[in-house]
Every structure is written in C-alpha cells, then in structure tokens.
Structure 1
Amino acid sequence: MYILIISLVLIMALIAMRISSDLKIPQLLLFMLLGVSFNFFGADFTNYNFSNQVSSIALMFIIFYGGFGTKWKMSKPVAKEAITLSFLGTVLTALITGLFVYLVFDFSLLEAMLLGSIIGSTDYASVSDVLVSRRLKLRYNTDSLLELESGSNDPTAYTMVVLFSTLLQGKNVNVPVLIILQVGIGLLLGFALGWVFIRILDYLNTRENMEVILLAAAALFTYEFTNQIGGNGYLAVYIFGIYIGNKEFVGKREVVFFFDSFTNLAQIGLFFLLGLLSDPSSIIAMLPIALVIMLFMTFISRPASVYGLMAPFKLNKNQLPVIAFAGLRGAAAIAFAISVVNSDTPFLNDLYHIVFDICLLSSLIQGGYLPTLSKKMDMVDPEDASLRNFNSLQDKSDVGFLATKIKADSDLVNTYIRDITLAFDFIIAKVLRHGETIVPNGDVQLKVGDVIVLAGRSYFDVVGTDLLEFRINSHHNWVNKQIKNIRLERDSLIVLVLRGDNELIVPNGDTTILDQDTVLVLEASNAK
C-alpha cells in the first residue's frame, strides 16, 4: 500500500510541476499543498522522528549539490557580497525578526530568537526554482550572488538553531566555543575530506559509473562525521560539494545528471512532508501570525540587513531591491522546524505551523512576484536568459568551451565573424566585450580585447596519468628559459602554460617559462 501511495505522490508531483510552469507559480508551493491535501483524505501522519531523519538527509543532499553546482569562477566576482549576506546577513535577519516576534507576540525571548533562526536563511531550492523555472538571468551577476548566498547560509542558521535550542533546554553552553566549533570544524573537514575523496576518485578511476555511489557515500560521511565531533555538518558538506564540483574527474557528467534528478526528488519529498505533517485547522489558526512575520521579514528585517551590509560594496541601486526581496524561505526552515519539534526543546507556541505558513506565503508572494520585480527594476538580462549556463552545459553534455582573447597584433582585429573560417569542428558560441555578452552573428566585427568563446566536442582522458601539472619556482631549471632551449624527455610536450590567475598561454618554442608559472606537460609512454 505504501509503495502505491509513494508512486501516486511522485506522479502527482510531476503533474504539479507542469501546472506550475503553465500558471507561473512556484512548484514548491504546489508540493506543500499536495501534502496538505492528503490530510483531507484521512491521512494522519505525525511521525516527527522519521520525518526528522528524512528531512535532514534530504536537506544535506540539497546543500551538497548546491555546493557542487557552484562554479567558483562565476561566483568569485560576487563572493565577498554573497558570503557577507550568507553569514552576517543571516544573523542580522534572524535577530531582528526574533526581536520583533518577542515584542509583538506572546513569545519568550529565547523562543522568539529560535523562530527567527529557523526562518533566518534564504532557501537555495526556492531561489533556484524561481530563477530556473522562469528563466531569469539577472544583470550584474545578481543571480550568481543569490545562488551563492542561498546555498551557503543554511549552516549559519543551523548554528543559531542549535544555540537557541540548547539555551531553551536549560543546558549550560559556552556560546563562543559552540560557534567556533560549529564553523571551524565544518570548514576544516569540508576542505580536508574534499581533498581526500577527490584523490580516492582519481585512484579508483572507475569506468563502471560508480562515481555517483562514492560521492553519495562521501557526502553522507562528511555530514555525519562532522556532526559527531561537534561541527556543522551542513557547512562541511557544502564546502565539500564546492571542492569536488570545481574539480574534473571521470564520470562527472553522470554525477550531475543523477543529482539533478535526486535533489528534485528530495525537494518534492521535503515539501510534501511538510504539508503531510500539518494540520489544516492549525494552518488557518497560525496564518495571521505567520503573515505578519513574513511581511516584516520581507519589507523590514531582510531589506535592513541587505541595505546595511551591502553599503560598502556600492552595488547598483537596482540590485538591492531584488536581492532584498529574494529572501525566500523553504527547505531549510522545514528541516530545522521538524528537528526542533522532534527534540527535547520546550516551547509554548506552535512553531511548526507558523514556519509552515511562512514558507507557504513566502513561496506564493515572494516567489510569485520576484520575476515581475526583476523586470520592473530592469534587472533581467534577456540576451543571456537560459535554463542552463555555459558551465552547466559542459557538465551535462559532450560540449566543451575554449576562450581566446583578441590581441592588438592578431589577424582577427576588425574581422567580421562571417569572414572567419574555423579549422576542425568548432563554432563561435559567444563574444565577450567589456564584460558584456554579444551574440556572434555574421555582422559582428571583432575588436582588440574581445574574448571569443569557441564550442566543440570535449575530450576526457580516462587514463588521466599522461598529463602532468606542476608549478615552476625560482629554483627550477626551466625558469626564465625559452621552451626551445629546454631539454624534455622523449615523447614529452609542454601543452599549456597558466600564468597568474587567468592567463592561459598556448606555448611555442619562443615562449619563456617564468617563476610561478603552472606548466602542463604531456608524457605519453605510448606516443608515436
């Protein structure tokens, strides 16, 4: 019987996704309502212990894949702003909201702060759902900023939930030590285990598509091991995801396809579970309180945090309203609320249904109006609107991209694209000029400083041991030598030189190797 019900839920969720697309409403809202609807058919599900385990694992995989899909090169220009909002922004939003709840409603100070912490983080699943389903590509890298912030702020909120939950239980807690352990151990193990497991992947070099199993197990291990020794498992698994996701390895494309589907399933399950655990009469009873809190967060606490913390960064004035309004609540708040209800934390108010209503209203109001606000603020970049960007396309297909910059002495200066004949099976995918994307039609004339992005079929070396990478230091015998004067082993070739942070040099005999260059050398034992 349970199998039949689960299959029906999944089928109905897929139908809900189509309805969401047609009606242009957030699909996660429909997943919650789907769970609520089961209560009208006699479902009486109140197993918070089981729900806590399921929601924690689901959120863990959502956070892991949020990190895995974060392309650091794209996020780096807005990393300072995103990380500031992720940590300080989450803390300020939670504290301001908690103080408001304490002053306006019948909450104790600690219980009010606990509620503020539960709903303090911007939800990655909800933000990503709106951006992808409505094909929103925002100007000034704002979408990258929102995705990095929402993907990394759950650990901050979770640390605050642990703190105030512990205080409510009357336990003695050293607040600075708790925060240092949560954050410090989480960061350390995230990087350390990422370093370990990427080497295990390289060592196994499997061709049986077992990478998915290994990474799923590694993510679970990272999360639980970090929790067991007092760290923040969500922070660790997010850092682990970023580290692994920005490396290349055999089977990465299969990993992307699997976790794309699996995290969708996790989101369906999480939001459906929230609805299933709810009581319709309690939803209605808590709606006025939730509406006031949600409106306060949307128009007071979140904007105050965003405008205050972003002032030193001098963002475009049109960005700030969009960033402030994009603080959607969702999966993390659900998991944290279930965790608190399942714990020994004493509280006098119906936190669960308040959180449910806040997520419901946030998804409906903020998720529904965000695309309209983005257009009104002239923040939508129509030229680059797409369901997936160049980086995700590389992960999900056999397409690869190369970039080359037009220098002053290049034969391509002032050449029209229609007059360029490319060797091999390449095509010009786009042209970047002063940071702006230009659609590469035949009438585009190339200028000095333009960056041409070429697309073609990618190649991945399943052996991976022939290509060696190493850094040149001041004592290396190649430093300050031209390649034609370097004695290489037989069947060896210097194929690429990386200089500085982003200068790629295709070498020839006259290329001089400098101190701190990174050199890639092909050493093929079977070369002909």
Structure 2
Amino acid sequence: MEQAHELVFIGSLLLLAGIVAGMLSTRVGAPLLLAFLGLGMVAGDDGLGLHFASTSTAYLIGSAALALILFDGGLHTRRRVFRLALGPSVVLASVGVAVTATVAGAAAVFLLQLGWLQGLLIGAIVSSTDAAAVFLLLHQRGRDINERVAATLETEAGFNDPFAVFLTTTLVTLASGHGDQSFAELLYYLAREALLGAAIGVGGGMLLVQLVNRLTLAGGLQPILAMAAALCLFAGTQLIDGSGFLAVYLAGLIAGNSRLKSSQTILRFHEGMAWLSQLVLFIMLGLLVTPHRLLPQAPAALGVALVVILAARPLAVWICLTPFRFTVQERLFIAWVGLRGAVPIFLAMIPTLARLPHSEVYFHVAFLVVLASLVLQGWTVAPAARWLRLEMPSDKRHGHRLDLEIAAAGSREISAYRVPAGAPALDRSFEQLPLPRRTRIIAVLRDGVVMNRAQLDRLQPNDVVLALTPPETLEMLDKLFAERRGPLAETALGDFVLDPNVPMATVVDLYGLPATLSDRAKTVGVFLRQRIGRRPVIGDRIHLGLVDLIVRALDDDRITEIGVVLEPERDPLDSVSIRRRLKRLAGGARRVVRRRRAAAGAGGPHSS
C-alpha cells in the first residue's frame, strides 16, 4: 500500500514539475514539449534515478494519449479549415510520408551501416510530423499563422500518423521474416485500413453526437462520455485491423462540427486532456530512455535528423504542394516546421515489442531525431513565420463563448458571449455590427440587467450578448467577440481598411499603381480574388507597385475587407527567387528575339 502512495506522489510531483518547466520554457522561448521531454530524462536513470523500462506499458499509455490528442485535434478543426486543406494534406500524409521515409531510410542505410530493410524501417519511424507541437510554440507567444498553412499542417497531422503506422508495422513484419505479401496485397491492406478507419470514424462521430444530445446525464459526465467513446472507437478499430488513429480524428471532426449539448464543457475538458496527454507522454518517453546509452548512435542519428530536416521533408513538401499553388513562402514554412514529436518515439517501440534484432538502435535513433527536431526547428518556428511574412494576429476561437443550452427553432441556435476588452464588436455602434447572415442579437445583458435595444448605443466590455445564429456562422461570431492581443492585430493586416467594392481605377489613380484597362474596370475585391487565383484566406497578399493588398476579412469565401500596406517590407525571397530570375531571363531573351526579327525585316529584300 505504501508503494502505491509513493507512485501517486511521484507521478503527481512529475506533473507539477512539468507544468512549472513549461512556464519557464515559455519565458525563454523554448519548445514546451522539449521541456517535458527533458524533465523525464532528468528524473530517469541517469538523473534522479527513477527507473522505468516497460516498453509494453509505455506503448499502452502512448496509444491512449495519442488517441486523445488526435480526438481533441479533430474537435477543434473547423469544417471550413478541413475543406480548405483536405487535398494537400492527404497528398502530404501519403506521398509525402513515403518520400520522407525513403530519403531518411537511405540516409540511415549509409550512416548507420544497416541493410535496406532496416534503414527504411528507421525512415518510416521518423516520417510522421507533429503539428500539435508547432501550434503550441506559436500560441505560447500569442501568435498565429496564415490560415491555409495552419490548416494544411493541422489536417496533415491528423492523416499522416495512420500511414506512418502502416509503413512501420509492414516493415517490422517483413524484418521479422513473417511477411511474404506482394505489393498489391500491401496496397489492399493499406486501403482496407484507411477505409475502415474513415467509415468507423465518421459513423462513430455521428453516433457520439446522438448519444451526447439524447442522453440525460449529469453535466460532468458528458465530456467523460465523449472521451470513453473516443477511446472505444480507437481500440475497436485497431482490433479489426483498421486505422484507429484516423477513426478517432474523424470522429472528433464530426463531433466538433455538430450541435453538441454542453459543447463548451466538452471542448474545454478535452483541451485539458490533450495537455495532460502531451505532458504524460513526453515525461514517460524521457523516463524510458537512458541518456548515456544514446551516445554511440548520436553522430549517425544527428546525420539522419539533418537529412530529414534539410532534405527529406523539403523534397516531400515541394513534390506534394506544387500542384496546389502554394506560394514559395508557404512551402518553405511547411517544409521547415515538419516537427517530429511523440509519434516517432511511439513507433520506435514496435520493433522492441516485436523482438527485432537491434531494436534498441531504432528507439535511440528515433529519440535523437525528435530531440534534434525540437531543438533546431522548435526554437525557430516563430522567427520563421515572421521572416516569411506568414504571421497573423492570434485568433482566440471559442475563448469567450459561454456554454448555453437553449434549443432554438429551425436551423438556428442560441449562443452567448461575454464581450472582452479590445473585441472587434466594440469598434462599431450596435446597429452597425457586422453580423453574419441569418444572425440576430436577441438580448444584451449589462451588470445582470437586460438592456433596452432602443437605448443601446455601443457594447461595453463584460456585456453578455445572446445571439440567434445558424451553427455554420458560429466561427464568425467567435471572431467578432474575441479578444485581440498585441500590436500585431492592428498592423499585420494592413495600415488601413479598404472597401472591396471600390473601383480598381480609383485605387490605381490614387497610388499610381500599374494596371491594365481590364483590371481598372474591376472592383478591388474582384481584382484581388483573381490575382490570388485560389480560395482566399485571411492574410493572403499581393504586391502591386508601391503597396501590398491583403485579405483582411472574409464572409465564407467572399472578401469583405481589404488591408492596404503603403510601405511594405521587402519580400524576404526577392533576392533568392529563382522564379523572378527566370522571368527576367525570359523577358530579356524575348526582347533579343524581337530586335533580331526587326533587324531581319529591315534588312530584307524590300528594304531600301
């Protein structure tokens, strides 16, 4: 009994220490997950002497933790974000993972003196990214990134884990001598695993929504019901050889974009569970490793890490994203922040559980690759976003929406918000609030008193607003009543706001901008949309003469506000852009050809 108390005491002490370490790491700009991992190593065999060496226990805890992290990721992924990034994310999570695994595996073959099967196994283990780590780093500084880039990283993280797991388990089977399947059979197993995971995830998510909304439970049990259902979906799908990781992510996506009773309670609970899962997972992985035993593989593992960071990931991103018209800055950022997190270390346990020869090498290399990625990439995520001009004001989605369970008639529901200081809703009079379509404010409470709408001029901080709105417009209301933090919110999206219905000719004449006659006949909004050439997101910009035009606000896919930067900073890639150099060379070549043709025409038989 005393031993049980000691375990509870040590476990809770480690969690407290992890939270304190996370606070300290935030102050110095260090990655939070690196702090958690470092704490586990300090507490382990080579530090304070806590011994933990059960790979099977670590695999069990890691599976549950990753399932909860993916479920929370799905809950917080908006349907619009998912649609925006579905195509590029699926390609990155399949072709991208395969390219990364192949290049990293080739590096492991030569650096670690392994056979091709063993080298490719290491490549498969380190091929998966951890976008949750990226967003932790950005959000701890109160910053966000371009929505298209964020959506791609976020959705990729939900999809690439299943493919990395499939590659790893397939190669482990082959390495153990039990695999004699043909390539067609392997493709069949992969397709079956993905289809089972997708079908069970979508169906399970719909069933979860019905359970939460129809069962009458005590308030505290609803988030626990959601958590139990998520773990059940994950484990059940794995038992029938489907992708449990994909199933639990899609279930969270379905539930998070549906009407849920006590939705804010469920979201806050699972956000806390995701933090707890990250904390437990990384401390446990730090405990599992013995630092002095990493040294023999350190030089080769560092080489593999550099190949993954500087060659494999960039190559995969360039191959996968070029057809989707991502800008050079966006591709560079996605390539750089392909951060390795808990998944590679988790996958490195599979060879140990399968009792493969040299399984310790796989684990140590994966651990060192993750460590190098957290140090090298983790510390530079925010500067890279700033340098590539992808940094956006922080979007505190759902931060001030209150949990209110009042059913409304038809296809609308009632939502409540407490208005924070600095919210965009405070910038305009009450009658001029930019409400989404089919949205109506039905009451405003100030100090517990319902205000008379006829006497209400402006909203004030701490007012409670009740709004009748369709579920699909909740995200826009969240932004209207969200808190803006820091000067970036005022400057990143332009020096001032331009109405998208202003004629382009007016702007061209006012600022002396280059434009064709057809461009002058358009509105600024239509011109900007056509120049972007894809579905716009907030932060998209084009450079025109002496100004930058930036998408500042959207209503669905319609541009509603345009920011204007009068003295834009120089594009960081101007001096290295191969495309611009090729254009200049092509332009020079065309001018030479025209001059030669003109000279040939002047010197022809009809010339005098």
TM-score tier after normalising by the smaller chain length: 0.7 to 0.9
Q: How many residues align?
A: 429
Farther-moved stretch of structure 1 (369-378 vs 320-329): 369-378
1:122 is aligned with what amino acid?
A: T
Q: TM-score, normalised by structure 1?
A: 0.75
Farther-moved stretch of structure 1 (54-63 vs 395-404): 395-404
Q: For residues 42-121 of structure 1, what are the structure 2 equivalents within 5 Å?
A: 42-121=49-128
Q: What is aligned with 1:258?
A: 269
Structure number with larger C-alpha Rg: 2
1:294 is aligned with what amino acid?
A: A
* 2:18 alignment partner, one of 2, 10, 13: 13
Q: What is aligned with 2:157?
A: 150
1:250 is aligned with what amino acid?
A: K
* 2:308 alignment partner, one of 278, 294, 297: 297
User: How big is the shift at 1:83?
Assistant: 2.3
* 1:191 alignment partner, one of 198, 202, 211: 202
Q: For residues 477-516 of structure 1, what are the structure 2 equivalents within 5 Å?
A: none
* 1:227 alignment partner, one of 238, 249, 266: 238
Shift of the 59–8 alpha-carbon distance from structure 1 to 2, 3 Å rule, reads: same
Contact 1:25 1:368 in 2 (8 A): yes
User: Deviations 1:430-472 (Å, cap 9, x if unpaired)?
Assistant: 59xxxxx9899xx9786659xxxxxxxxxxxxxxxxxxxxxxx
Contact 1:125 1:331 in 2 (8 A): no
User: Deviations 1:34-90 (Å, cap 9, x if unpaired)?
Assistant: 111122222222111111111111111111111111112133223222222122212
User: How big is the shift at 1:502?
Assistant: 8.3
Q: For residues 359-398 of structure 1, what are the structure 2 equivalents within 5 Å?
A: 359-381=370-392, 385-386=393-394, 388-391=395-398, 394=401, 398=416
* 2:9 alignment partner, one of 4, 7, 18: 4
Contact 1:206 1:250 in 2 (8 A): no
1:324 is aligned with what amino acid?
A: A
Shift of the 444–176 alpha-carbon distance from structure 1 to 2, 3 Å rule, reads: closer
* 1:167 alignment partner, one of 154, 159, 174: 174
User: Deviations 1:166-213 (Å, cap 9, x if unpaired)?
Assistant: 111211343122212211111111111112221222221435332112
User: How big is the shift at 1:272?
Assistant: 0.8
Gaps of 5+ in 1: 407-419, 432-436, 450-500, 504-528
Contact 1:209 1:251 in 2 (8 A): no
Q: What is aligned with 2:293?
A: 282
Shift of the 296–202 alpha-carbon distance from structure 1 to 2, 3 Å rule, reads: same
Contact 1:189 1:226 in 2 (8 A): yes
1:135 is aligned with what amino acid?
A: G
Q: What is aligned with 2:436?
A: 404
Shift of the 237–286 alpha-carbon distance from structure 1 to 2, 3 Å rule, reads: same
User: How big is the shift at 1:303?
Assistant: 0.3
User: How big is the shift at 1:347?
Assistant: 3.8
Contact 2:202 2:254 in 1 (8 A): yes
Q: What is aligned with 1:414?
A: none
Contact 2:129 2:339 in 1 (8 A): yes
Contact 1:163 1:178 in 2 (8 A): no
**3-state SS of 1:399 partner:** strand
Contact 1:59 1:335 in 2 (8 A): no
Shift of the 430–233 alpha-carbon distance from structure 1 to 2, 3 Å rule, reads: closer
User: How big is the shift at 1:224?
Assistant: 1.0
2-side partners of 1:193 and 1:16: how far apart?
Answer: 37
Shift of the 158–49 alpha-carbon distance from structure 1 to 2, 3 Å rule, reads: same
2-side partners of 1:354 and 1:292: how far apart?
Answer: 10
Contact 1:191 1:243 in 2 (8 A): yes
**3-state SS of 1:230 partner:** coil
2:50 is aligned with what amino acid?
A: A
1-side partners of 2:11 and 2:137: how far apart?
Answer: 26
Contact 2:105 2:122 in 1 (8 A): yes
2-side partners of 1:96 and 1:232: how far apart?
Answer: 25
1-side partners of 2:67 and 2:281: how far apart?
Answer: 11
Gaps of 5+ in 2: 1-5, 405-415, 419-424, 426-433, 439-455, 468-476, 482-488, 503-555, 559-608
Shift of the 211–405 alpha-carbon distance from structure 1 to 2, 3 Å rule, reads: closer
User: How big is the shift at 1:235?
Assistant: 1.1
User: Deviations 1:398-424 (Å, cap 9, x if unpaired)?
Assistant: 429984379xxxxxxxxxxxxx95699
Contact 2:234 2:245 in 1 (8 A): yes
Q: What is aligned with 1:331?
A: 342
2-side partners of 1:374 and 1:271: how far apart?
Answer: 25
1:315 equivalent to 2:326? Answer yes
* 2:41 alignment partner, one of 28, 36, 42: 36
Q: For residues 448-487 of structure 1, what are the structure 2 equivalents within 5 Å?
A: 448=501
Contact 1:182 1:230 in 2 (8 A): yes
User: How big is the shift at 1:141?
Assistant: 2.5
User: How big is the shift at 1:14?
Assistant: 1.1
Shift of the 448–116 alpha-carbon distance from structure 1 to 2, 3 Å rule, reads: same
Farther-moved stretch of structure 1 (129-138 vs 342-351): 342-351
1:128 equivalent to 2:139? Answer no
User: How big is the shift at 1:5?
Assistant: 0.7
Shift of the 222–270 alpha-carbon distance from structure 1 to 2, 3 Å rule, reads: same
1-side partners of 2:498 and 2:40: how far apart?
Answer: 56
RMSD over equivalenced CA pairs, Å: 3.0
2-side partners of 1:376 and 1:396: how far apart?
Answer: 39
User: How big is the shift at 1:128?
Assistant: 2.2
Identity of aligned residues (%): 25
Contact 1:65 1:241 in 2 (8 A): yes
1-side partners of 2:188 and 2:285: how far apart?
Answer: 33
User: Deviations 1:203-252 (Å, cap 9, x if unpaired)?
Assistant: 21435332112111111111111111111111111111111111121111
**3-state SS of 2:436 partner:** strand
